Amino acid sequence: MANRPYLDQMEVDGTTYDLRAANGTPAIEGYGGNDLSEEFTAEQFHSAIAAGDFSKIRIGDYFPITLNGSYKDYARFTVPSGTTYYSDADLTTEVGTTEADAEGEYQSATAIKFKVSGADVYAAITDCTAGFVKTMNATMKMEIAAINPYLRHGDTELTAQHVLMCSRDCMPPTLQYRCNNSVWFDTAQVNPWRGSALWETLNNAEDGIIKLVEGSALGSYVYKGPNNNGMRAMLATMAAGAGSPSNWAWTDRGRLFLPEEREVYGSPAWGSASGYVAGNLYNKWPIFNGTSRHVIKGAGDGGGRSTWWLETAYSATYFAYVSYYGAAYPYPAAYTYIRVPLCFLVT
């Protein structure tokens, strides 16, 4: 795909499309986007994509969806009703039992911290369960970020015509990569993104945010991939505790995923600039060309500027993120005040 953001046209698979709105404004540089739900039903949108007909679909256009329901945040813990709790993290002084389920945070390999009447108390981690159920009711403007960016990619070849969609702003809740900077959710994985609590929060088939997406207008058409976990990608091997990649391997990126650093900025900033990271097929998404308006995202639809996570690991305990003013930074994986956009493929 050849993309020329300051000119009038974009070429996609040999076909040239107009990038200008009726007033002549370039689509990527300053284009506000058309609401595609006024042009298509979700089924019609899917049918146009499947047929490779992008004549009414431009970079920066958007399809609004509603996320409504409950999901489980796997970077947090549930302290069940009836759990004994203590005044100290060493669990030596018992002070009561919980009267209802409580949200807990990782304190140590043995203790979970939570609050009772505003005071910090602690429960044995063995008495708690990973994940805490939360609710969300949010409208997301899903923008066309690229057209067929991953066509023919993968060890299982992606042959379906597709569009990459990325929300204009972040989802309202803040989300952690991990419950603790160094604690992986899934230690069987060999990639930091795939082993993270954030991946699980987004993609758990039973109670992840993907279930809310499936209940939206576009939910039936979000790409499932060969293993029902999204597109296949060559991700750097960087197992638990490793500070730099040692290899790479094909894996399922997730039906919901985040941009890699190079997919936002066009080059590495805090991730590896060579070898097993830089050699992968990650190109800058066209939506991020020529303007900061799509890089700088709000806290919820139309909200104030927010920081947001990227898919790139910086070290054993840090991940890259985009600052509220658009610059790249690394931050500890358990930091609690960062949000994420919603990204997926529609086929």
Which distant-in-sequence residues (6+ apart) come within 8 Å of 206 by Cβ? Answer: none
Burial grade of 195 (CB within 10 A; 0-12, 13-18, 19 or more) = buried
Gap between the Cα atoms of 145 and 207, Å rounded = 27
Q: Ranked by mean pLDDT, which of 19-23, 28-32, 95-99, 241-245 comes out on top?
A: 95-99
pLDDT for residue 6: 31
User: How many secondary structure helices (H) and strands (E) does the chain include?
Assistant: 6, 19
pLDDT for residue 293: 87
Show the CA angle centred on residue 179, arms to residues 189 and 121, nearest 5°: 145
- Residue 314 to residues 210, 226, 308, 330, 339, Cα–Cα distance (Å): 26, 29, 15, 6, 18
pLDDT for residue 20: 41
Q: Is the pLDDT of residue 286 over 60?
A: yes
**Which residue bears the tokens 């595609």?**
36
Instruction: Note the pLDDT tens digit of each residue in 291-309.
Output: 888 999 999 999 999 999 9
Helix (H, G, I), strand (E, B) or coil at 197: helix
- Residue 340 to residues 16, 173, 241, 330, Cα–Cα distance (Å): 33, 8, 24, 15
In eight-state DSSP terms, residue 133 is E
Are 149 and 202 in contact by the 8 Å Cβ rule? The answer is no
Domain-by-domain residue ranges, the chain? 32-70+140-346, 81-127
**Which residue bears the tokens 């650093």?**
261
pLDDT for residue 106: 98
Spatial CA neighbour of 125 closest among 176, 73, 90: 90
**Candidate from 143-157, 176-190, 276-290 with smallest mean pLDDT:** 276-290
- Residue 239 to residues 209, 242, 317, Cα–Cα distance (Å): 25, 6, 11
Q: What token pair was written down for 163?
A: 């569009």
Task: Summarize the confidence of residues 306-327 as an average pLDDT.
Answer: 94
Reported in sequence order, the residue ranges of 52-128 that DSSP labels E, i.e. its strands, are 62-79, 84-86, 94-97, 102-106, 111-116, 119-124
- The neighbour count for residue 189, using CB atoms within 10 Å, is 18
Task: Summarize the confidence of residues 56-81 as an average pLDDT.
Answer: 97
Q: DSSP string spanning 207-254?
A: TSHHHHHHTSTTGGGB---TTSSB-EEEEEE--TT-SS--EEEEEE-B
Percent share of the chain, pLDDT over 70 = 87
Are 20 and 27 in contact by the 8 Å Cβ rule? The answer is yes
Helix (H, G, I), strand (E, B) or coil at 116: strand
Gap between the Cα atoms of 332 and 320, Å rounded = 9
Gap between the Cα atoms of 336 and 170, Å rounded = 15
pLDDT for residue 14: 53
The pTM assigned to this predicted structure is 0.89
